[in-house]
Chains A and B, each alone.
Chain A
Amino acid sequence: MPIPYIQRTRERYAAYPAYRWVVNTEAPWTPLAKPIAATRLALLSSGGFYLPDQPPFTDGDVSYRRIPTSTRLADLRIYHHGYRDDDPDRDPNCIFPLDRLRELAAAGVIGALVDPAFSFVMTYAAQRDINERGPQLAAALRELGADAALLVPV
């Protein structure tokens, strides 16, 4: 059965002002006009991955990192708070399935894996997420010719 995370979060942080969870009654929709085997798929993860030569994330950070799809996962670093990362630490494919998607692209299951993949960290600055990072990522994906995106939140 699903876990009542919203309820447990309310209880866990009962001493703090209540977090206002977004409640969307509608969702946008774009049909995928081609089969998955012809689809250019992008990977985005909020797991806070970055490369050693990239700046780490900071508190309230709405930036993102471009992770070349040729990256060895062992070379990645994690900079994040608020998630239990011992398993993603050992095997980032738990939340950043770069190895698996490379294999599936090579096998022709997907048309292509969009290069680079993207990673970022959660932020409480929801408006900046919506008004800054979201549009930036959407523009980057359009520029890269992505047909669809696999979003992996943590």
Chain B
Amino acid sequence: MSSAWDVTVSVRPPRAVFVNFPLNHETGKADDPVLQRRILLDAFRAFETLWAPGQVLTLPYVWDAKDRSWEDTDFGPGFEPYGVGTPMQAGFGERALKRADSTGASS
């Protein structure tokens, strides 16, 4: 699975499935099991449609049809890769799941 087309094409795995979502949603949006299932079913199609090494299957899903501004900002200047809520420690940090709820963060 990939949401970084340029990185994936450079690495060139045998098969790849591209979803143009912000990083860390390669198998779907949070709390959207219908979309998550759909993406996996489509990803399985890669085994049937990709027939030579290095090919990429691009899925048609759109993160937000009304607002594509995330494409201009994701990982750009000012982007905070460590999420919102309690900041991580320098370098690695540990987080229990459900942290986002407890800090009032939202997607």
Contacts and interface: CB of A to CB of B under 8 A. Distances in A.
Interface residues of B, number: 63
A114 to B, nearest CB: 15
- Which label, helix, strand, loop or mixed, suits the secondary structure of the B interface? loop
A95 B27 contact: yes
A69 to B, nearest CB: 15
A22 B30 CA distance: 30
Interface string A53-82: 000111100000000000001111111111
A16 interface: no
B37 A103 contact: yes
B91 A154 contact: no
B71 A95 contact: no
B24 A83 contact: yes
A21 B10 contact: yes
- Which 5 residue pairs across A and B have the least CB separation, nearest first? A2-B5, A27-B53, A91-B30, A29-B53, A87-B30
Interface of A: 1-9, 11-12, 21-30, 32, 36, 39, 47, 56-59, 73-97, 99-101, 103-104, 109-110, 121, 148, 150-154
8 contacts: A6-B6, A11-B77, A21-B10, A59-B91, A78-B97, A81-B88, A90-B31, A100-B27
